Amino acid sequence: MSTAEETVGGEPQPWGEVTPDAARRLLVAAVEAFAERGYHATTTRDIAGRAGMSPAALYIHYKTKEELLHRISRIGHEKALDVLRTAADSEGTPAERLAEAVRSFVRWHAGQHTVARVVQYELDALGPDARAEIVELRRRNDAAVRGIIEDGVAAGDFDVPDVRGTTLAVLSLCIDVARWFNVNGPRTPDEVGALYADLVLRMVGAKG
Amino acid sequence: MSTAEETVGGEPQPWGEVTPDAARRLLVAAVEAFAERGYHATTTRDIAGRAGMSPAALYIHYKTKEELLHRISRIGHEKALDVLRTAADSEGTPAERLAEAVRSFVRWHAGQHTVARVVQYELDALGPDARAEIVELRRRNDAAVRGIIEDGVAAGDFDVPDVRGTTLAVLSLCIDVARWFNVNGPRTPDEVGALYADLVLRMVGAKG
DNA sequence: GGCCTCTCTAAGCAACCGCTCACCTTCGGA
DNA sequence: TCCGAAGGTGAGCGGTTGCTTAGAGAGGCC
């Protein structure tokens, strides 16, 4: 449960790198608002209001509303990629690494589901350049998962007829957690992670 | 491949029940626009323009922009539910029925991915009453899939420790197809359906 | 004190939004 | 031939949007 991130009062503080304080408050407010209502339905006045500031204050720290979304998307994707890579590069059999990757990736999408929702579903609101940058980060996510599955197939531990298709399905399954996960629902992020790790091992036909 | 829907020039025409003609053209235009840009980013002028009409014409056939979304959501969900129920209620072993359900449900979400995208991702833009109606339709989707899995477990054909969780995962997997599916991508809806049916049978530990 | 920089606000601009209204055209039925 | 209903349009209203501008405080440095 210990990560390198700062914590304040037990709550994870995933935006520690954003300074100054007012800029971070605006970013956190934007994440909440975008996740609740969507990017286009959120007004700059709403974001500034949640951060306890006047509408104009937003433009001291960010050039446009889109820059806020871009910053959120980039940081969010980097965090998710970091979580995935840590599991992918760890020691252990392919099955252990795949299970840990799914467990932590799902845990992130469930626990940080507001960020994840923005990151995954508001991509089209970005301009072409910003979108291209984010798409490249996603390609690396894909490569990390595919790498584990290929290792498992090569070692004879997995039975996977279609590696690319299965990789796509595994990632899709994990990412969609952000859409349906509900904090007041019956499952904790840990429980969903454990369930999904088991399901994914079945999907790749892991021995044992 | 044969459904009860009308076809015009080989293209499926899933809005045959919407009359008069102008109202249908507006609805089809709205589906395209909502799928491309999202509900909030779409203007009534854009919808009317795509249908080849003036902005005011929209309000002859629909009271508000939200009514368009509501109509699309209801019809879309009913079609998807219909596809799922047909497979669920068919003859055959639980494994055959589950495979057919996943195959046709995925085929629908891939082939009709513009409609599916609107239906699945713009739910929050609806008012409370309309949303409640749609949520009820989704509950029935869930029940249909859970029913097949429970049959398989009861017959000893499936090995599923967590029926509710696995049902959720199966539906989530199928639904997310609408997010990533690309008509110009390497896979046809049929191919994705076949791949996913195989993966889901592995998830429930189907014998054979 | 005098001055500069940083942060923030009140007020508001131009553009655009969902939607309405007065009016026009088409057309089937008596 | 007249009529009324149905379907359509151009212009535009009130309100909201993203963003800008002029200027006010606060604090550090000489």
Tens digit of each residue's pLDDT (9 = 90 or more) over A93-125: 999 999 999 999 999 999 999 999 999 999 999
Three-state SS for B146? helix
Q: At residue A8, does pLDDT exceed 90?
A: no
What's the pLDDT score for residue A20? 85
- How many cross-chain Cβ pairs, A to B, lie less than 8 Å apart? 70
Q: At residue B101, does pLDDT exceed 80?
A: yes
B64 touches strand C (CB under 7 A): yes
Q: Which two tokens stand for residue B166?
A: 């696995």
Q: Rounded mean pLDDT of B89-116?
A: 96
A7 touches strand C (CB under 7 A): no
A54 touches strand D (CB under 7 A): no
Nearest nt to A54, CA vs C1'? C9
The dihedral of CA B53, B54, B58, B61: what is its sign?
negative
Among A17-26, A43-52, A90-99, the range scoring the smallest mean pLDDT is A17-26
CA of A130 to C1' of D28 (A): 38
Count how many Cα atoms sit within 13 Å of the Cα of residue A42 in the half-sphere of its side chain: 24
Closest Cα to residue B178, out of B67, B39, B41, B80?
B80
Residue-wise pLDDT for A123-141, tens only, equals 999 999 999 999 999 999 9
Q: Which two tokens stand for residue B21?
A: 């003609």
A59 touches strand D (CB under 7 A): yes
Residue that has been written with the tokens 């409609």 in this structure = B115
Q: Which two tokens stand for residue B2?
A: 């044969």
Residue nearest D9 (alpha carbon to C1'): B54
Three-state SS for A20? coil
Angle at CA of residue B78, ends B76 and B82, nearest 5°: 120
Substitution target from B43, B135, B171, B172 for chain A, most A beta carbons within 10 A: B172
- How many residues in total does chain B contain? 208
A45 touches strand D (CB under 7 A): yes
Asked whether the beta carbons of residue A179 and residue B176 sit closer than 8 angstroms, the reply is yes
Asked whether the beta carbons of residue B172 and residue A166 sit closer than 8 angstroms, the reply is no
> Is residue B21 very low, low, confident or very high in pLDDT (cuts 50, 70, 90)?
confident
What's the pLDDT score for residue B25? 94
> Is residue B9 very low, low, confident or very high in pLDDT (cuts 50, 70, 90)?
low
Q: At residue A3, does pLDDT exceed 50?
A: no
Q: Rounded mean pLDDT of A17-23?
A: 82
Q: Rounded mean pLDDT of B152-178?
A: 97
DSSP B80-126: HHHHHHHHHTSSS-HHHHHHHHHHHHHHHHHHTHHHHHHHHH-GGGS
What's the pLDDT score for residue B41? 94
B69 touches strand C (CB under 7 A): no
A6 by Cβ neighbours in 10 Å (0-12 / 13-18 / 19+) ranks as exposed
What's the pLDDT score for residue A192? 98
Give the mean pLDDT of chain B: 91
Residue-wise pLDDT for A47-85, tens only, equals 999 999 999 999 999 999 999 999 999 999 999 999 999
Of B162, B173, B203, the CB nearest to A172: B173
A196: which chain B residues are within 8 Å (Cβ-Cβ)? 169
Domains within chain A, CATH numbers bracketed: 16-62 (1.10.10.60), 65-208 (1.10.357.10)
- Positions 119-158 of A with beta carbon below 7 A from strand D are none
Q: Which two tokens stand for residue B3?
A: 């459904």
Protein footprint on strand D: which nucleotides are under 7 Å from a CB?
Answer: 7-12, 16-22
Q: Rounded mean pLDDT of A31-40?
A: 94
